[in-house]
Copies of this chain bind each other. A is one copy, B any other.
Amino acid sequence: MRKVAIVGAGITKFGRRDANWRDLVVEAGKALFDDVPNLDRNEVDSLFVGSAYPERWANTAHVAPMAAELLGIKPRRIVAKVESACQSGAIAIRYAWLSVASGLSDVAIVLGVEKMTSKFMNLTQSTMYIVGDREFDTVNGFTAPPFFAMVAQRHMHLYGTTREQLAMVRVKAGEYGSENPYAQFNRKVTMEEVLKARLVAPPLGLFDCSGITDGAAALLITSEERARKYTDTPVWILGGFQRTIHNSINEAGEIADWLSLRQLAKDVYDHFKITPDDIDIAEVHDCFTISEIVEYEELGFCKKGEGGKFIEEGQSYIGGKVAVNPSGGLLACGHPLGATGVRQAWEITMQFRGQVPRKRCVAGAELALAHNLSGLACMHSIMLYSLKKP
């Protein structure tokens, strides 16, 4: 297996954009190519597109060769579009990493893109409805907000987590998101705003939920041999795993325990011979405020049940035990499904390069973790990134 690095990264402004799926691809592509002036596009032999539902939201199917044409590349090794709902971008990175590590591909582009907003938001909603198990779960009302609300209620019941602790996650997201010009909601948010916002599903209010977002991000990935041609600061992809042990809620067991993630995290730490203490930056999937609190616990940053205390003590801020979501996370950046995982890798790349605003820069960071989930927390993935060559 060859060593693999991210050697270029580009992103679009996230938000409710006056741009279609194609426009977003072109914009992220231009940002990537601007970041890697030494790239001859003929060198790109593979393309991995993470995009969840363009077939519904952009009324466009078979998007991978379309994206290749829009980017002006003619891939000759692998071209694929991968879908895994909210973690589609992360899975595209995984595929690219494997293809370069194995020697099949030398220079690959990963493109994460999603166009979610339209004049007809019921199109967005009707698709999110089928991300859960339509026949067993969402038909009974278990779409994402009620599900995560129930996780929050259960967590409060079992562990004494408070409404205020949930809100603190959003305040942190706003603090860092206000320093991220690409974030959909790039402004600070007060505790009062979060607590007084319109209820979505109790206890979660509007600010406890990530947005419906358009956006795209792109990475250039290559092997050790070629990395220095494109950048002085390659970001090494160490790798990672995925895990799913259930799909429908019937099989989920205790919903405040995310067993898939706990087992996955242990597996990754053991495999790479690290501990949670070694992680400097964690970009985690805070689709809702409660998600980040459960993730603190299952990722081993604190004990089970102490996630609320962890944010309250400021341990997930820069300067705390681990800097969680210095980008602003999904809560501030918004969550264009296919783009989110790629946006996380973009953030880690910019952090390692020292190219983020000072207030959200994690000085001295060398090891980062990216976590994504999809569906009703039924599938999780972790990728590790290192500034030091492995």
- A interface residue numbers (CB < 8 A to B): 1, 22, 52-53, 55-56, 59-62, 64-66, 68-69, 74-85, 91, 94-95, 98-99, 101-104, 127, 130-135, 239, 241-248, 251, 263-264, 267, 374-375, 378-379
Contacts and interface: CB of A to CB of B under 8 A. Distances in A.
Contacts of A85: 61-62
Given A1-B103, A131-B61, A76 B241 contact: yes
A99 B85 CA distance: 21
The 5 A-B residue pairs with the shortest CB-CB distance in the complex, in nearest-first order? A69-B247, A62-B85, A65-B244, A65-B247, A102-B102
Given A75-B243, A102-B1, A102-B101, A374 B131 contact: no
A65 B375 contact: yes
A74 B375 contact: no
Contacts of A98: 95, 98-99, 102, 104
A60 B102 contact: no
A127 B55 contact: yes
A263 B65 CA distance: 16
A99 to B, nearest CB: 6
A60 B75 CA distance: 30
B251 A69 contact: yes
Nearest to A45: B241
Given A61-B131, A84-B64, A133-B66, A77 B242 contact: yes
So how many copies of this chain end up in the complex? 2
A134 B61 CA distance: 9
A190 B59 CA distance: 40
A62 B77 CA distance: 26
A54 to B, nearest CB: 9
A266 to B, nearest CB: 11
Nearest to A76: B243
A98 B97 CA distance: 11
A130 B77 contact: no
B244 A62 contact: no
A107 to B, nearest CB: 14
Contacts of A1: 102-103
A77 B383 CA distance: 12
B64 A379 contact: yes
Query: Which of A75, A76, A99 has the most B CB atoms < 10 Å from its CB?
Result: A76
A131 B60 CA distance: 7
Contacts of A56: 55-56
A242 B378 contact: no
